[in-house]
Amino acid sequence: MSQKIKLTEGKITVPSIKKGRKISAVTAYDFTFAEIVDEAGVDIVLVGDSLGSVIKGEKNTLSVTLDEVIYHTKAVSRGLKRSLLLADMPFMSYQISVEKGVENCGRALSEGFAEGVKIEGGISVASLIERLSLIDIPVMGHVGLTPQSVHRMGGYKVQGKENRKKIIDDARAVQDSGAFSVVLEGIPSDLAEEITDRLKIPTIGIGAGSKCDGQILVLYDLLGLSGGTPPKFVRQFSNLREASTKALKEYVEAVKNENFPDSGESYTLRKVQ
**Catalytic residue ranges:** 185
**From CA 62, how far away is CA 232, in angstroms rounded?**
23
Smallest distance, ligand KIV to C-beta of residue 218, A? 5
Separation in Å, CA 150 to CA 52, 140, 165, 246 = 14, 20, 20, 35
Pick 26 or 173: Cβ nearer ligand KIV: 26
Smallest distance, ligand KIV to C-beta of residue 6, A? 29
Smallest distance, ligand KIV to C-beta of residue 48, A? 2
Pick 26 or 128: Cβ nearer ligand KIV: 26
Cis amide prior to 261 (ω within 30 degrees) = yes
Amino acid at 137: I
Smallest distance, ligand KIV to C-beta of residue 249, A? 30
Distance of CA 27 to the CA centre of its chain: 3
Pick 173 or 218: Cβ nearer ligand KIV: 218
* Residue sitting closest to ligand KIV (CB): 48
Name the nearest CA neighbour of 29 among 69, 67, 64, 89.
69
Residues that bind ligand KIV (CB under 6 A): 27, 46, 48-50, 88, 183, 185, 206, 216, 218
Pick 41 or 231: Cβ nearer ligand KIV: 231
The pair phi, psi for residue 82, each rounded to 5°, is -110, -40
**From CA 125, how far away is CA 185, in angstroms rounded?**
17
